[in-house]
Chain A
């Protein structure tokens, strides 16, 4: 990647972030069956930011994500949304979560996001099909719309899932390790795609990743989970060698 395409701290993206929050967690405790995995977590997702959520396996990233998505009710504290009662969240899951047993085309997978807009029992309206194709075009996979989702490469699957998330016309895009199991060139292409979407649509993006390079190049905000606690701030401040060493217990 050349310097002009870098979108990390200090890059052009910083200018698109206003410091108004869109989601805020205050004193949140979250977990399963009443047992907290995260406790007393404060987190602010800024409108228009490209944020990265970092943390070791088992640090509570998925728990935080599920709480933000409304899949897991908080044990304590609350999830606040600014201006809107509940923003539309486009979610991109890890591709392995989706069972290859289902004979679904890429277009079928994208159209699932339009479920609420399609009346039960009736055929999918032409407008929704057109929108689904537009979303596939936006992620550069319109040519594989008819192909079976399960047979696509990892990179193609991620693009289809990003298209599916865009189909919800989201305010926020949340991606759970979108580059896991994807080769280096496809990883670069997916991140370039996300950066493009971020800039063109002024979407707020929250990305879960283990890749520090991605965070440095693309994110302008970082949230770091460690031992059930969350540290957040600008990428420039949190991605210093000293802080990384501290978060990885290498200091």
Chain B
């Protein structure tokens, strides 16, 4: 109880880390809902990894272009953000284009993108031990120091993403569920798919930079998959996913703080346990009500 009071105190030393976790925990699942519904879960795995490659490139720039890039934390952060964001956007635009042209298999493309991005990150950082250390911390989801500026930037960009996603939720649902109907109603499927993928890219870019790829894809995929097992409509799915993400983010942070563990793995581990629990509960409920199944 004492620890809980300490964590919730306004002058808590790691408050920015906590707030960032909660923000990512609540926002990422809302984007993830569309990935899960469109059966693009693997995109949620590959994109953060590709985005992390952008961070790796940014962190290792000084190896390729001279030492000027390695000193100032603020400048490095901006470069890293640009790297994460640019790689996310390029990846979603390329994947959206390939989706449109139906050239090859989606799962194969995403799998290839995932392994190539990981290999590229390792190669980029091979000659730069300091950057490698920063990137590995990010990769592990070890969120310790989030500055006021980083928190502010994360908050503004995620809030912007949520406003656009909420404002156009019906259009995103229409082009996802029935693209033919959307076209008949003169809604441009390609354009709205691109907007949706850009929002996903923006969220991934922002989240990866502050909490790393592990938490990003954990929170994008697992909460919607848990909520999907209980939800009967889109509102329940979105609200449920966001709530699960928020609770897991707080619980993960609490456990990590108490047991001195990295926050990312603690949160994602809790989400995994919650998914298993949800699976067992819904399976038992289904067994208990066989007559209502159809």
Residues of B within 8 Å of A69, CB to CB, are 180, 183-184
Tell me the bound Cα distance from A131 to B39 in angstroms.
32
B13-48 near A? 1/0 per residue, CB < 8 Å: 000000000000000000000001101000000000
Listed stretches B125-133, B163-171, B213-221, B259-267; interface member = B163-171
Tell me the bound Cα distance from A118 to B171 in angstroms.
10
From A89, A104, A148, give the contact of B184 (CB < 8 A).
A89
Tell me the bound Cα distance from A115 to B177 in angstroms.
13
Residues of B within 8 Å of A105, CB to CB, are 232-233
Residues of A within 8 Å of B167, CB to CB, are 120-121
- Structural contact, B181 and A113, CB atoms closer than 8 A: yes
Tell me the bound Cα distance from A151 to B289 in angstroms.
14
- Structural contact, A91 and B180, CB atoms closer than 8 A: yes
Tell me the bound Cα distance from A168 to B184 in angstroms.
10
- Structural contact, B232 and A116, CB atoms closer than 8 A: no
- Structural contact, A91 and B37, CB atoms closer than 8 A: no
With A99-B177, A115-B174, A120-B170 as known contacts, state yes or no: A70 contacts B183, CB within 8 Å.
yes
Nearest Cβ in chain A — how far from B114, in angstroms? 22
Quick one: closest B residue to A99, CB to CB?
A: B177
- Structural contact, B177 and A98, CB atoms closer than 8 A: yes
- Structural contact, B232 and A91, CB atoms closer than 8 A: no
Tell me the bound Cα distance from A151 to B228 in angstroms.
15
B181-202 near A? 1/0 per residue, CB < 8 Å: 1111111000000000000000
- Structural contact, B236 and A103, CB atoms closer than 8 A: yes
- Structural contact, B37 and A101, CB atoms closer than 8 A: yes
Tell me the bound Cα distance from A105 to B236 in angstroms.
12
B120 CB-CB contact with A under 8 Å: no
A184 CB-CB contact with B under 8 Å: no
B32-71 near A? 1/0 per residue, CB < 8 Å: 0000110100000000000000000000000000000000
Quick one: closest B residue to A69, CB to CB?
A: B184
With A89-B184, A91-B180, A103-B237 as known contacts, state yes or no: A115 contacts B170, CB within 8 Å.
yes
Residues of A within 8 Å of B180, CB to CB, are 69, 71, 91, 93, 97
A72-116 near B? 1/0 per residue, CB < 8 Å: 000000000000000001010100011101111100100011011
Quick one: closest B residue to A66, CB to CB?
A: B180
With A69-B180, A71-B180, A89-B184 as known contacts, state yes or no: A115 contacts B236, CB within 8 Å.
no
B11 CB-CB contact with A under 8 Å: no
Tell me the bound Cα distance from A115 to B171 in angstroms.
8
- Structural contact, B183 and A120, CB atoms closer than 8 A: no
Tell me the bound Cα distance from A164 to B168 in angstroms.
21
Tell me the bound Cα distance from A71 to B186 in angstroms.
10
B75 CB-CB contact with A under 8 Å: no
Tell me the bound Cα distance from A163 to B176 in angstroms.
20
- Structural contact, A108 and B234, CB atoms closer than 8 A: yes
Tell me the bound Cα distance from A164 to B173 in angstroms.
16
User: In the complex, which residues 148-174 of chain A have their Cβ closer than 8 Å to any Cβ of chain B?
Assistant: 148, 151, 153, 164, 168
B294 CB-CB contact with A under 8 Å: yes
Tell me the bound Cα distance from A25 to B273 in angstroms.
59
- Structural contact, A121 and B166, CB atoms closer than 8 A: yes
- Structural contact, B177 and A104, CB atoms closer than 8 A: yes
Nearest Cβ in chain B — how far from A132, in angstroms? 14
Nearest Cβ in chain A — how far from B105, in angstroms? 18
- Structural contact, B232 and A112, CB atoms closer than 8 A: no
B260-293 near A? 1/0 per residue, CB < 8 Å: 0000000000000000000000000000000000
User: In the complex, which residues 196-233 of chain A have their Cβ closer than 8 Å to any Cβ of chain B?
Assistant: none
Quick one: closest B residue to A116, CB to CB?
A: B185
Residue pairs across A and B with Cβ atoms less than 8 A apart, 6 shown, are A99-B37, A105-B233, A108-B233, A115-B170, A115-B182, A115-B187
Which B residues have a C-beta under 8 Å from some C-beta of A? 36-37, 39, 166-168, 170-171, 173-174, 176-178, 180-187, 228, 231-234, 236-237, 294
Known: A116-B187, A120-B168. 5 other contacts (CB 8 A): A69-B184, A91-B181, A93-B178, A104-B177, A115-B174
- The 4 nearest A-B residue pairs measured at CB: A121-B167, A103-B231, A102-B177, A71-B183
